[in-house]
Amino acid sequence: MKMRDVLGCVGSGACVLFASAWIPFMGPLFGLLTPLPFLYYSSKLGIHQGVKLAALSAFTIALIARLLGHPQIILFCLEFSLLGLALSELFRRKFSIGQTIFLGTGFMLFLGFGFLFFLALSKNMGPFEMILNYLQAKFKATIYAYEQMGISQGKVIELEAYATALVDIISKVYPSLMVVGTGFAVWLNVVIAKPLFRMGNLTYPPFMPMDRWQAPDSMVWGVIVTGFALFLTSGSIKSVAINALIVMMFVYLFHGLSIVLFFLNKYHVPSWMRVGVYFLIIIQQLFLILVALAGLFDQWIDFRRIHRRTQS
């Protein structure tokens, strides 16, 4: 292990973590890239040296965070460093991209729920109770800030009603939001690792092309079952169905995005136009729904003619 590797891992890890705390709006997106330095250096040095480097880097970053008054960064650093090591091992074992993201997401969720459980236990609360209390406190602080700005009492009442409704919705779908957010973070690191590995002359796993990826065919039965459960059941079963449907439609969203990428590649669409297409999909909910539905119905319509080529 060279000093250059230690400084590179500590420096890059600290940069993305503190950027998430200091940069408004886009900061949390930088924070999602924290596993990349640990993934890169553990793939470069091997898993045993990678573990030592990750432990040293996490300790150094935690010490800096403590001195600068950002103790919340310590937990994120520990969690994301372990994810980087896990992804490095998954890369080494040459799993498919679907298996890599699935296993990485499962590992991250296991860690996240574990940390959440012990943190809530230290405060004599349940995990979800602690999250809801945190959200309610944030909304109250926001409403109080608006009151100090002198907005009318009617607007304050509207904000309170909106905050109550939003907390109620989040309380019902929080498990699926956690799965979706974790899956997105793992996918983002797997995708961005490719150009990073190329710059460092490291071997990136031979994943199938992104524009050919598709969700498992059998998953459509899960959508059908949960769809019926939404209308025919109530209570806890309906809540489970809602969360399961959100997760599956998120998977079909990525299926639809692979279809979009396929046609962008097929017609050699320039980069500036691709950015516009992706931007519209992100900001416009209608496009998100259409892309997810395209992924769902691709099993029968076969937009890319993949099934027909396989049968031939």
Find the range with the poorest average confidence among 39-48, 108-117, 218-227, 303-312. 303-312
Structure tokens at 196: 């990073």
> Could you tell me if 167 and 191 lie in one domain?
yes
| 233, 166 contact by CB (below 8 A) | no
**Orientation of helix 97-122 relative to helix 153-199, angle to 10°:** 130
> Could you tell me if 19 and 129 lie in one domain?
yes
Tell me the residue type at 303.
Answer: F
Q: How confident is the model at residue 309 (pLDDT cuts 50, 70, 90)?
A: low
Structural domain including 18 reads 1-207
Per the model's pLDDT, the better-predicted residue between 180 and 310 turns out to be: 180
Query: What is the pLDDT at residue 234?
Result: 77
Number of domains in the chain: 2
Between CA 186 and CA 40 the distance in angstroms is: 14
> Could you tell me if 203 and 215 lie in one domain?
no
Q: What three-state secondary structure class fits 143?
A: helix
Q: Is the model's pLDDT at 139 over the cut of 80?
A: no
Q: Is the model's pLDDT at 218 over the cut of 70?
A: yes
> Could you tell me if 158 and 297 lie in one domain?
no
> Could you tell me if 223 and 109 lie in one domain?
no
> Could you tell me if 160 and 231 lie in one domain?
no
Tell me the residue type at 181.
Answer: G
**CB proximity list for 44: less than 8 A, separation 6 or greater:** 5, 200, 202
Find the range with the poorest average confidence among 79-88, 146-155, 286-295. 146-155
Per residue in 125-138, pLDDT (tens digit) is: 777 777 778 777 87
CATH of residue 192's domain is 1.10.1760
Q: Is the model's pLDDT at 291 over the cut of 90?
A: yes
Q: How confident is the model at residue 28 (pLDDT cuts 50, 70, 90)?
A: confident
| 80, 38 contact by CB (below 8 A) | yes
Q: Which of 178, 207, 236 is the last residue of a domain?
A: 207
Q: What is the DSSP string of 194-235?
A: HHHHHHTTPPPP-PPPGGG----TTHHHHHHHHHHHHHH--T
| Average pLDDT over the chain, rounded to an integer | 86
> Could you tell me if 76 and 125 lie in one domain?
yes
> Could you tell me if 47 and 121 lie in one domain?
yes
Over residues 280-298, the mean pLDDT reads 90
> Could you tell me if 53 and 179 lie in one domain?
yes
Segment of 66-75, 152-161, 259-268, 297-306 carrying the highest mean pLDDT: 259-268
> Could you tell me if 39 and 145 lie in one domain?
yes
Per the model's pLDDT, the better-predicted residue between 180 and 151 turns out to be: 180
Per residue in 90-105, pLDDT (tens digit) is: 999 989 999 999 999 9
Radius of gyration of the chain (CA): 22
Segment of 29-38, 70-79, 155-164 carrying the highest mean pLDDT: 29-38
Query: What is the pLDDT at residue 231?
Result: 82
| 256, 295 contact by CB (below 8 A) | yes
Query: What is the pLDDT at residue 191?
Result: 92
Q: Which of 162, 182, 207 is the last residue of a domain?
A: 207
**CB proximity list for 74: less than 8 A, separation 6 or greater:** 61, 62, 65, 66
Of 100, 104, 2, nearest to 49 (Cα)? 2
Q: Which residue in this structure is represented by tokens 């309906």?
A: 238
Between CA 254 and CA 250 the distance in angstroms is: 7
Q: How confident is the model at residue 182 (pLDDT cuts 50, 70, 90)?
A: very high
Query: What is the pLDDT at residue 25?
Result: 66
